Amino acid sequence: MKIDILTLFPEMITGFLNESIIKRAQEQGKVTINLLNFREFSHLNNQQVDDTPYGGGAGMVLRCEPIVEALESVKDEDSLVILLSPQGKTYNQKMANDFTNYKHLILICGHYEGFDERILEYADLELSIGDYVLTGGEAAAVVVTDSVVRLLDNVINEDSKDNDSFTEGLLDYPTYTKPRDFRGSLVPDVLLSGNHQNITKWRHEQQVKKTQEKRPDLLK
């Protein structure tokens, strides 16, 4: 897979790309991730990328031409173009799974008051990571990149994806490690029993119980 991230602040993202599982996935050739600063595509003096809104109002609006020209420099017939904005469809695990079917994702990060609305004509999808407003799309691009790359084949242990939260519409089951007794709080006996049928049954019951308690909306 290839991921191109169009941003005015690539350094907000580089640290994230150069650590841990996402770094390894790139080294192993599972994904190629490029950061493209669309300021380089500005036609204006001082490489300006924004301007005041028509009709007045607070803040600055991102202009079409630097973003669209940056997009055109990387887009091909395999690309899925995703515009990150708080007005988009709310991201979830199913969408992360769907995105793994594409060879090329392009993530466009906004900043300031938002985009010129006409940029939407160049995107396949407007996507929000939740009902809150960020200073820009960079944190959202990191969220999408991370959640998609970990699902690519052999990036993480394949078994550990099966019981991910949300995969079957349920939260993950509780896990424990040593010591068995931490300040009087004990690991459930069933996990020490060695009976794998009972363990599987218990884990599923726990998934349902946890989901009922914490996220009843997922069971509807």
- Interface residue list for ligand ADE (CB under 6 A): 84-86, 110, 128-130, 132-134, 136-137, 140
Q: Which of 164, 172, 174, 215 is catalytic?
A: 164
The burial class, CB within 10 Å (0-12 / 13-18 / 19+), for 43 is exposed
- The yes-or-no answer on residue 113 being catalytic is yes
Instruction: Specify the residue for token string 């809150």.
Output: 132
- The yes-or-no answer on residue 63 being catalytic is no
CB of 101 to ligand ADE, least distance (A): 21
CB of 78 to ligand ADE, least distance (A): 23
What is the Cα 211 distance to its own chain's centre?
22
Considering beta carbons, is residue 131 or 162 the nearer one to ligand ADE?
Answer: 131
CB of 131 to ligand ADE, least distance (A): 7
- The yes-or-no answer on residue 164 being catalytic is yes
- The yes-or-no answer on residue 27 being catalytic is no
Q: Are strands 32-37 and 125-128 parallel, antiparallel or unpaired?
A: unpaired
Residue 212 CB neighbour total at 10 angstroms? 13
Considering beta carbons, is residue 136 or 174 the nearer one to ligand ADE?
Answer: 136
Considering beta carbons, is residue 84 or 170 the nearer one to ligand ADE?
Answer: 84
Considering beta carbons, is residue 84 or 105 the nearer one to ligand ADE?
Answer: 84
CB of 59 to ligand ADE, least distance (A): 13
Q: Which of 10, 53, 150, 203 is catalytic?
A: 150
Considering beta carbons, is residue 54 or 132 the nearer one to ligand ADE?
Answer: 132
The burial class, CB within 10 Å (0-12 / 13-18 / 19+), for 49 is buried
Tell me the two tokens of residue 131: 């009902």
Catalytic site positions: 86, 113, 150, 164
